[in-house]
Amino acid sequence: MRTFTVLGIETSCDETAAAVVRGAAPGPGEIISDVIFSQLEEHRPYGGVVPEIAARAHVEMIDGLVERALAEAKLALSDIDAVAATSGPGLIGGVMVGLVTAKALALAAGKPLVAVNHLEAHGLSPRLSAGVGFPYLLLLASGGHCQLLAVESVGRFRLYGTTIDDAAGEAFDKVAKLLGLAYPGGPRIEVLARTGNPRRYPLPRPMCGRDGADFSFSGLKTAVRHLTLGQTVNAADVAASFQAAVVDILIDRTRAAMEMFGSDFPDAAAPAFVLGGGVAANGAIRSSLQGLASERGFGFAVPPVRLCTDNAAMVAWAGVERAGLALFDPLDAPARARWPLTTPAAA
């Protein structure tokens, strides 16, 4: 397969990022440059991402980041084979900034455009880091997403489960807020949980044991709110009890998805189970899911944390994979706030 060098742009949430990646399917690829500006400080006072602030910060940062990505790669725009940008799903103002920038660069340099689905970019990232072969099972758990998917090929995914309310990272962030911890709360809860007793407070495990592999976290968050209202609690014990509940939920739902994957792909020998999204940084979650994978005959892969959280290298890599299949997009490709990867898997 021919090698492609692709410039990738990511602006769908609160990271402004640009990267240059070279490679060919199935990977691994070479990350030639990878620059990122995190808007965390801009949003921290509000305890979450404010779309208008995000869009403005993307506008201010994106040109400089693209220039830096090319300079660090020691490449000119004319050396690039294609320009890829996240075109959804995400905060529409931000998505438009990145996509319009990519279109302008593609037009000016006479290069093809790849309009990338952000979820597909997360989904293909284990191929960029480790050349993982199709098909594999992916748990994508971040502040915005919580999904279990079979990744069959570029553009072909089977959705086994998704959250019916909050994402896993969002639950971490909300519980952190209840405990008076700063945003984003996931890393702080993890640290606090290390010194807490996970059996101190009994908390619900919504959806566990149910058919399918969908998630729900809002009942858990509400239970923590009731716990913390009007009584003094031990914050470390709350953090540990909450994290233990999340681990149990992720294990139960992933086990169900592994069964679905096994019956959909009976010939896949030792398929990979891949963990992605910001929540993959959590050590307790990683080690319990790794245990489940080995118990169920799955290989276990976690891309480096820098590739698990939002970044432009994964967008550039999705561009490399799509360019290899000549899957380019017209210059009027739309920015989309919503863009599901799949319709639910057929029964």
Residues at the site binding ligand KG4, with contacts judged by CB under 6 A: 13, 142-144, 169-170, 172-173, 184-187, 190, 277-279, 281-282, 309-310
310 binds Zn ion (CB under 5 A): yes
Provide, rounded to whole angstroms, the least separation between the CB of residue 119 and ligand KG4.
Answer: 10
Q: How far apart are CA 54 and CA 227, in angstroms?
A: 34
Min CB(193)–ligand KG4 separation in Å:
9
Please, what is the minimum distance in Å from the beta carbon of residue 286 to ligand KG4? 9
Tokens read off for 237: 């014990």
User: Which entry of Zn ion, ligand KG4, none binds 173, CB below 5 to 8 A by partner kind?
Assistant: ligand KG4
Q: Taking every pair of C-alpha atoms in the chain, what is the biggest distance, in angstroms?
A: 64
Closest distance of CB 285 from ligand KG4, Å: 7
Q: How far is the CB of 170 from ligand KG4 (least distance, A)?
A: 6
Question: Considering CB distances under 5 to 8 angstroms, the limit depending on partner class, which of ligand KG4, Zn ion, none binds residue 166?
Answer: none
Which residue number, 5 or 311, has a Cβ lying nearer to Zn ion? Answer: 311
**Continuous H helices in the chain:** 40-43, 51-73, 92-109, 118-130, 168-178, 186-193, 218-228, 235-264, 283-295, 305-308, 313-324
Of the pair 23, 143, the CB lying nearest ligand KG4 is at 143
Burial of 340 (0-12, 13-18, 19+ CB in 10 A): middle
Residue 306 C-beta: closest distance to Zn ion, Å: 13
* Residue 282 binds which of ligand KG4, Zn ion, none (CB < 5-8 A, kind-dependent): ligand KG4
The residue (of 70 and 247) whose beta carbon lies closer to ligand KG4 is 247
The piece of 187-195, 241-249, 306-314, 326-334 that touches Zn ion (CB under 5 A) is 306-314
Give the whole-angstrom CA distance, residue 161 versus residue 174: 22
Instruction: At 272, give phi and psi (nearest 5°).
Output: -85, 145
98 binds, among Zn ion, ligand KG4, none (CB under 5 to 8 A by kind): none
Least separation in angstroms between CB 308 and ligand KG4: 6
Q: Note whether 87 and 99 are within 8 A (CB).
A: yes
- Is the Cβ–Cβ distance between 333 and 113 less than 8 Å? yes
**For residue 343, what are the CA distances in angstroms to 156, 339, 346?**
11, 10, 8
Name the nearest CA neighbour of 341 among 77, 89, 83, 39: 89
Contact of residue 172 among Zn ion, ligand KG4, none (CB under 5-8 Å per partner type): ligand KG4
The item of ligand KG4, Zn ion, none sharing an interface with residue 28, based on CB under 5 to 8 Å by kind, is none
Interaction of residue 120 with Zn ion, rule CB under 5 A: no
Could you tell me which stretch among 22-30, 36-44, 181-189, 307-315 binds Zn ion (CB under 5 A)? 307-315
Give ∠ CA 298-117-289 in degrees, rounded to 5: 25
* Contact present, 24 and 320 (Cβ < 8 Å): yes
Enter the tokens of residue 76. Answer: 């000119």
Q: Please, where are the H alpha helices in 229-282?
A: 235-264
Supply the angle between the helices 168-178 and 235-264 in degrees, to the nearest 10: 170
Strands 113-117, 272-276: pairing kind: unpaired
10 makes contact, choosing from ligand KG4, Zn ion, none, with CB < 5 to 8 Å by partner type, with none
- In this complex, which beta carbon is closest to Zn ion, that of residue 167 or of residue 203? 167
**Rounded to the nearest whole angstrom, what is the least distance from the CB of residue 346 to ligand KG4 in the complex?**
28
Choice between 249 and 260, CB closer to ligand KG4 = 249
Decide whether 22 or 118 has the Cβ nearer to ligand KG4: 118
Q: Which amino acid is at 110?
A: G
Out of ligand KG4, Zn ion, none, which partner does residue 276 contact, by CB within 5 to 8 A per kind? none
Q: Given the complex with Zn ion, which of 33 and 117 has the nearer CB atom? A: 117
* Site of interaction with Zn ion (CB under 5 A): 310
